[in-house]
């Protein structure tokens, strides 16, 4: 069977890869958007924290025999805790300065973290086994769907939608949105805004680490795995605009799919297509698809 002159196997295969990549774009840009909303800082360390999540899972499995499912819980908590320390000891000193200093600081932290992991584990990718429960694949008739990949798509959609629900529909989320609009006023109402900021950063970092654990069995675990990814995610964030949580999710998945399709129809452009879309969006709608120009 062929679609537009492309074998359907190849088409659906790339679409699946696109969806998988899109899941990670969505999870990471969601974390960036949540952090940016409250801290006004673009967290350049996000890629390194995603990598740390994958490494924590790897170390847990190989040094302590802790399986994937526990890693899904432990890694985000551990890496999120390091995020809390970073926010308390460093980022919190920068809120009164130009926001660019936050970017520079987190860039420096990313260099430190990546350098340390490269020193310890080398640059080569380390394999991480797919958990036993999710091995194998389903025959959908038109393609084979590996169970683990299906799980990643479903799980990241669930996490994204839960985050959206918490921020847009609960009381806690209402505080958060209010603090994004006017922190001084929220503080005056007796809500501990600095603690909320710390928790938000920890949560965003935890999301990155969770994405890292889920990525470990698909991509190999390596110190550089987050460095190039985070630049693509920045482009995703520029395209979506950081105004809305749902915007980040939709843009993430959408761009993943577009990237996958490009791989089928014009493979040469597959690594640049997201950046080209970013350029077009900047020309047509500088604030981003879901953003509002401040």
Partner 1 sequence: MAAIALAPAAETLAYQRKVFVFMAVVLAVAPLVVYPLFMMKVMCFALFACAFNLLIGYVGLLSFGHAMFFGMASYVSAHAAKVWGLTPELAILSGTVVATALGFVAGSLAIRRLGIYFAMITLALAQMIYFFCLQAPFTGGEDGIQAVPRGHLFGVIDLSETFSMYLLVLTIFLGGFLLIYRIVHSPFGQVLKAIRENESRALSLGYDVDRYKLLAFVLSAGLSGLAGATKALVFQLASLTDVHWSMSGEVVLMTLLGGLGTIFGPVVGAAVIITMQNYLAQLGAWVTVVQGIIFVVCVLAFRRGIVGEIAHALKKPL
Residues in contact with partner 1 by the rule CB under 8 A? 36, 40-42, 90, 93-94, 97-101, 103-105, 107-116, 118-119, 227-228, 231-232, 234-235, 237-238, 268, 271-272, 275-276, 278-279, 282-283, 286
Number of neighbours of residue 246 by Cβ within 10 angstroms: 16
For the bound state, the minimum distance from the C-beta of residue 168 to partner 1, rounded and expressed in Å, comes to 23
For the bound state, the minimum distance from the C-beta of residue 280 to partner 1, rounded and expressed in Å, comes to 10
Instruction: Tell me the Cα Rg of the chain.
Output: 19
Q: Is residue 235 exposed (0-12), middle (13-18) or buried (19+ Cβ within 10 Å)?
A: buried
CB 157 within 8 A of CB 27: no
Q: Where are the beta strands (DSSP E) in the chain?
A: 2-3, 6-7, 137-139, 144-146
Smaller CB separation from partner 1, 218 or 236 = 236
For the bound state, the minimum distance from the C-beta of residue 268 to partner 1, rounded and expressed in Å, comes to 6
Smaller CB separation from partner 1, 27 or 94 = 94
Smaller CB separation from partner 1, 123 or 139 = 123
What SS3 state is found at 293?
coil
For the bound state, the minimum distance from the C-beta of residue 20 to partner 1, rounded and expressed in Å, comes to 20
For the bound state, the minimum distance from the C-beta of residue 208 to partner 1, rounded and expressed in Å, comes to 16
Smaller CB separation from partner 1, 202 or 288 = 288
d(CA 217, CA 148): 9
Smaller CB separation from partner 1, 86 or 130 = 86
Residue where the block lists tokens 């806690």: 172
């Amino acid at each position: 069977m062929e679609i537009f002159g492309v074998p359907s196997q190849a088409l659906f295969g790339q679409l699946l890869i696109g969806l998988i990549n899109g899941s990670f774009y969505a999870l990471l840009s969601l974390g960036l958007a949540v952090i940016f909303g409250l801290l006004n800082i673009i967290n350049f360390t996000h890629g390194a924290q995603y990598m740390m999540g994958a490494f924590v899972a790897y170390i847990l499995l190989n040094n302590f025999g802790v399986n994937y499912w526990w890693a899904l819980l432990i890694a985000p908590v551990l890496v999120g805790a390091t995020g809390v320390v970073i926010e308390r000891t460093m980022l919190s000193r920068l809120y009164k300065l130009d926001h660019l200093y936050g970017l520079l600081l987190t860039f420096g932290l990313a260099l430190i973290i990546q350098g340390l992991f490269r020193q310890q584990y080398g640059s080569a990718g380390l394999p991480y086994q797919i958990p036993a429960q999710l091995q194998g694949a389903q025959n959908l008739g038109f393609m084979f769907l590996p169970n683990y990949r299906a799980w990643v798509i479903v799980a990241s959609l669930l996490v994204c939608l839960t985050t959206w629900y918490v921020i847009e529909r609960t009381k806690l989320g209402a505080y958060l949105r209010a603090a994004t609009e006017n922190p001084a006023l929220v503080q005056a109402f007796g809500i501990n805004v600095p603690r909320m900021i710390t928790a938000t950063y920890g949560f965003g970092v935890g999301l990155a680490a969770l994405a890292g654990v889920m990525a470990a069995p698909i991509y190999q675990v390596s110190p550089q795995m987050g460095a190039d990814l985070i630049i693509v995610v920045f482009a995703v964030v520029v395209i979506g605009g950081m105004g809305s949580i749902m915007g980040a999710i939709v843009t993430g998945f959408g761009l993943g799919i577009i990237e996958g399709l490009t791989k089928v129809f014009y493979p040469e452009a597959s690594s640049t297509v997201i950046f080209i879309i970013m350029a077009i969006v900047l020309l047509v709608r500088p604030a981003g698809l879901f953003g509002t120009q401040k």
